[in-house]
């Protein structure tokens, strides 16, 4: 039985401002992606994470594939992905993902996963097989991997990134002060260390932070400085949206002008590329992050 984390008493979702309104998914490209995802029994973070950009991305013929099932062993208080005890472990999944990417004609593929802390290898074998098979079947396709922290078992990290995806992303998600509240099973310093080790291994590094959950501007600047100091190349900044009444409440809707300011600050503080906007998510416009 799947479990949805109960973070606090149910809190009403705040009304979204006009700049957060998106169109409903339509069009033939959207239908084609929908068909392939269903036919190949694949999971996408677009659906599982309630991404507001699904219509735009699927309409452009792209999707972010989520491997290792759709049940996560962690209970982050912001995330719409179901949490519980996973049962799925499908060694054929890498083949299906690679084939779907080939049929879609994807030029830049984004792949993520749930956390599988209950597995001895934390899912590293499926991760490595997926990257390798995608490259074999799609030699002209570049790959971004949005990976978990593998509970600081860095040999597992190397097993994955040594398959040489073009971009390796690991999201900080929030500022240091809010970590226990937002990511109770993660550690701020551990995520920074992972980014540092990934950069030292020769990969292009990327991370993302959600805004609007009670952080201050100074705390965002501190996170930017920490990321730059640990070798992060690309940073995405987006608005947190409360997926259900049981998740963290939105404390503030960040104005587009503030997102523009954060982009300038991130570049000034040493990050190579900053994608900053209310609807920005980790994989949004990811082909630009190469």
User: Is the predicted pLDDT of residue 7 greater than 60, yes or no?
Assistant: no
For the cut 90, the answer to whether the pLDDT of residue 225 exceeds it is yes
Q: What residue has token string 């990327």?
A: 206
pLDDT at 150 over 80: yes
Cα–Cα distances (Å) from 173 to 119, 151, 205, in that order, read 24, 16, 15
Residue 92 is predicted with a pLDDT of 92
Q: What is the mean pLDDT of residues 162-166?
A: 97
**What are the DSSP calls for 32-85, one per residue?**
HHHHHHHHTT-EEHHHHTT-TTHHHHHHTT--EEEES-SEES---TT--SEES-
Q: What is the pLDDT of residue 165?
A: 97
* 21, pLDDT greater than 80: no
Q: Is 104:78 a contact under the CB 8 Å cutoff?
A: no
Of 51-65, 144-158, 230-244, least confident by mean pLDDT is: 51-65
pLDDT at 65: 86
What average pLDDT does the segment 233-259 reach? 94
Distance CA 279, CA 184 (A): 25
Q: Comparing 278 with 286, which gets the higher pLDDT? A: 278
Asked if residues 95 and 51 have their Cβ atoms less than 8 Å apart, the reply is no
For the chain, the structural domain boundaries read 1-6+23-165
Q: How confident is the model at residue 64 (pLDDT cuts 50, 70, 90)?
A: confident
* More confident position, 166 or 70: 166
Instruction: Kindly tell me if the per-residue pLDDT of 286 is higher than 80.
Output: no
Average pLDDT value over all residues in the chain? 86
Cβ atoms 271, 265 nearer than 8 A: no
Q: Report pTM.
A: 0.85
Q: Helix, strand, or coil here: 204? A: strand
pLDDT band at 258 (very low <50, low <70, confident <90, very high): very high
Q: What is the pLDDT of residue 22?
A: 61
């Amino acid at each position: 039985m799947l479990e949805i984390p109960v973070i606090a008493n149910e809190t009403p979702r705040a009304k979204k401002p006009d700049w957060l309104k998106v169109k409903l998914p339509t069009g033939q490209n959207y239908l084609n992606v929908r068909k392939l995802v269903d036919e190949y029994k694949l999971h996408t973070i677009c659906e599982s994470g309630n991404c507001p950009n699904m219509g735009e991305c699927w309409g452009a013929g792209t999707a972010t594939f989520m491997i290792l099932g759709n049940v996560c062993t962690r209970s982050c208080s912001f995330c719409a992905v179901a949490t519980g005890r996973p049962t799925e472990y499908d060694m054929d999944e890498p083949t299906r993902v690679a084939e779907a990417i080939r049929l879609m004609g994807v030029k830049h593929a984004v792949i993520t996963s749930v956390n599988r802390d209950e597995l001895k290898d934390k899912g590293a074998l499926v991760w490595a097989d997926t990257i390798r098979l995608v490259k074999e079947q799609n030699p002209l396709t570049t790959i971004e991997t949005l990976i978990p922290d593998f509970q600081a078992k860095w040999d597992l990290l190397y097993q994955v990134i040594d398959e040489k995806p073009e971009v390796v992303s690991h999201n900080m998600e929030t500022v240091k002060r809010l970590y226990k509240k937002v990511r109770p099973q993660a550690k701020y310093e551990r995520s920074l260390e992972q980014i540092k080790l990934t950069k030292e291994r020769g990969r292009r590094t990327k991370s993302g932070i959600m805004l609007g959950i009670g952080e201050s501007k100074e705390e965002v600047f501190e996170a930017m400085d920490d990321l730059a100091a640990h070798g992060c190349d690309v940073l995405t900044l987006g608005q947190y949206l409360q997926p259900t009444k049981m998740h963290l409440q939105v404390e503030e809707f960040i104005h587009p002008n503030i997102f523009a300011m954060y982009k300038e600050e991130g570049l000034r503080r040493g990050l190579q590329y900053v994608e900053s906007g209310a609807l920005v998510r980790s994989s949004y416009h990811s082909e630009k992050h190469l």
